[in-house]
Copies of this chain bind each other. A is one copy, B any other.
Amino acid sequence: MKLTEPKARKLAELFSALSDASRIRIIAQLMGGEMSVRALADGLGMTESAVSHQLRGLRQMHLVRARKAGRQVFYSIDDDHVSRLFTLGLDHVQHG
């Protein structure tokens, strides 16, 4: 298969966004529905700062999206591709 360098980089960036255990756990939580930053941080035992930094990257890659409600920001899985990538990957590590 032929793949231009810029596309290879883009694709690598996408997978990079999923290449950290903290981010994976964030996504896993969001699979159950939208959550605030604090709720994510509490559920994961991370600081809000760390979570917020990670969410930024996930947002930029369009893996999650934010909905602002008052002073809270609720995050959710951005689109279906993301959940499919997640579950497909999980499949591979489970019976791989």
Q: Do A19 and B15 have beta carbons less than 8 Å apart?
A: yes
Specify which of A20, A29, A32 lies most central, judged by the most chain B CB atoms within 10 Å of its CB.
A20
Q: How many copies does the complex hold?
A: 2
Q: Do B96 and A88 have beta carbons less than 8 Å apart?
A: no
| A10, CB-defined interface residue at 8 Å | yes
Q: Do B8 and A21 have beta carbons less than 8 Å apart?
A: yes
Q: Do B3 and A28 have beta carbons less than 8 Å apart?
A: yes
Shortest CB distance A24–B (Å): 5
Partner of A2 from B16, B28, B89 at Cβ < 8 Å: B28
Given the complex, which residues of B lie within 8 Å of A1, measured CB to CB?
A: 28-29, 31-32
Q: Do B96 and A85 have beta carbons less than 8 Å apart?
A: no
Residues in chain A within 8 A of chain B (CB atoms): 1-3, 5, 7-16, 18-21, 23-25, 28-29, 31-32, 62, 79, 81-82, 84-86, 88-93, 96
